[in-house]
Chains A and B, each alone.
Chain A
Amino acid sequence: MEENSNPVYKDQRYGQSRELLYSYDENGQYKKDVGFHGEPDRIILQQAWDHFNDRIEDARRRVIAGKVSPIVYYMEKFLADPLNLSMMAGISIWKVKWHSRPGVFKRLSEKTLKKYADAFNISIEQLKKVE
């Protein structure tokens, strides 16, 4: 039965890279096989990416509506959360949250903007707007 084993597919049914997978069959033998992941693994990866894309789209809409600053959009696009971003940019987490207000964001100094831009690997001009 499929749900009782770790199926390894030889054709490119799901995924893009062939990985080494271990399994245990009904004869009591451990096997290792190089192949593609099965369907369950695909579903859970797809779910994660759907979730991320939803969040990015939602953040984009809120930035355009003027509810939050572009930092939130780039943070979601970078798959980060405030804690993660604060570690990457070297800015404390409270400040990161404070800077997500559009009014506060407008008054930020070049130096702080540069820190964010470096963390996202984009230019300061790009940081100020969303595409």
Chain B
Amino acid sequence: MIKLDFEHRQAGHCESGVTRNLLHYHKFSISEPMAFGIGAGLFFSYLPFLKMQHAPTTSFRVWPGQVFDRATKELGVKTAIHTFRNPKDSMDKLNEILEQGFPVGLQVGTYHLPFFPPEYRMHYNMHNMIAYGHDNGTYFISDTLMENLVEITYEDLMRVRFAKGAFAPQGRMYYPTFVPENIDIKPAIIKGIRKTAYNMVGIPFPLIGAKGIRYLAGRMRKWEKKLGPEKASYYLGQVLRMEEEVGTAGAGFRFIFGAFLEEASTVLNQPWLKEISVEMGENANKWREFSYLGSRNCKKRGKPDQSYDFLADILLEVANREEKIFRKLAKIK
């Protein structure tokens, strides 16, 4: 029986929330947007050849695990990361680490999570949560999506940690082992911004970043003719679901990133970042407008101002805005 004194705090995004909560336990407090920004969590990619739930994959987040890895690396925090082949080994290791007094972050699949809201139970293997204690086959879990602390049984935890399918977690667990005192977060912030800017405008590949948004806009114009109204609206719904659903806190993380820029401008004492955070906020609201009109389209109230052409125009505008924002951010010193 062990139950660590762990403070649960809800977060907009599972992984930056986990990073923030784990670091907070080790007496180092940053806000959730800060953890998200330093970990360079903002992203966009549209992968039409990779189908997820019968529609092309649109992703607003980076590879699972990257936010935690980058944030801790930039801050100089020492961490341990394990993956396993054998489910039993992974549970033994988890018990061992918990008994040493470290809360542990876990990557899990959401389909079999018993406490998850039923409407979100799809095959999605990139969810993160924290185990902070166990007692006789019951594990105490802090899931940043949920308002309260939850519990899970040994069998269920083993199943979700070894969920199969794309991005299988393979029992991945991670935790900070050593947090230095007096961390200087300024260089970490600059590196995080630079990395995000590179991800959004620097990668020479057409499906990623601002170019990816433009590509999606181009494809969207052809959907109705190519796929028929039914399927086209489902494809659109998939994009919106990735943008607004579980743990993006709205508009595909753009709100969190804007809050991060606002905070960064005070920490770094660079007022121009504040102006960019305002631009980011307007850009995020544009994304919200896109999802609002798009959802009207999904409900089959086909008006001219909700057609795919109109939505694609909004996306183009968003892409132009983001390109401008991140070209400016790439010059940060």
Where the two chains meet, the residues of A that have a C-beta atom closer than 8 Å to any C-beta of B are 2-6, 15-24, 28, 30, 32, 34, 37, 39-41, 43-45, 47-49, 51-52, 55, 79-81, 83-84, 87-88, 119
A80 to B11 alpha-carbon distance, docked (Å) = 29
A39 to B281 alpha-carbon distance, docked (Å) = 21
Query: Do A21 and B145 have beta carbons less than 8 Å apart?
Result: no
**In the complex, what's the smallest C-beta–C-beta distance from A125 to chain B, in angstroms?**
22
Query: Do B146 and A17 have beta carbons less than 8 Å apart?
Result: yes
B103 proximal to A (CB < 8 A): no
Segment of B182-190, B191-199, B287-295, B320-328 engaged in the interface with chain A: B287-295
**In the complex, what's the smallest C-beta–C-beta distance from A118 to chain B, in angstroms?**
11
- 17 A-B pairs with C-beta separation under 8 A: A4-B288, A16-B118, A18-B147, A19-B10, A30-B255, A39-B295, A40-B244, A43-B296, A44-B240, A44-B245, A45-B119, A47-B233, A47-B299, A51-B237, A79-B123, A80-B123, A87-B166
Query: Do A15 and B119 have beta carbons less than 8 Å apart?
Result: yes
Query: Do B245 and A41 have beta carbons less than 8 Å apart?
Result: yes
A99 to B144 alpha-carbon distance, docked (Å) = 41
A55 to B282 alpha-carbon distance, docked (Å) = 39
A41 to B285 alpha-carbon distance, docked (Å) = 15
Interface string of B13-42 (1 = CB under 8 A from A): 000000000000000000000000000000
Interface string of B237-251 (1 = CB under 8 A from A): 110110011010111
**In the complex, what's the smallest C-beta–C-beta distance from B153 to chain A, in angstroms?**
15
A45 contacts across to B, CB distance below 8 A: 119, 241, 245
| Beta-carbon nearest neighbor of A88 in chain B | B164
Query: Do B165 and A84 have beta carbons less than 8 Å apart?
Result: yes
Segment of B70-78, B217-225, B256-264 engaged in the interface with chain A: B256-264
Query: Do A48 and B11 have beta carbons less than 8 Å apart?
Result: no
A21 contacts across to B, CB distance below 8 A: 12, 249-250
B299 contacts across to A, CB distance below 8 A: 43, 47
A41 to B247 alpha-carbon distance, docked (Å) = 12
Query: Do A20 and B245 have beta carbons less than 8 Å apart?
Result: no
A32 contacts across to B, CB distance below 8 A: 12, 249, 259
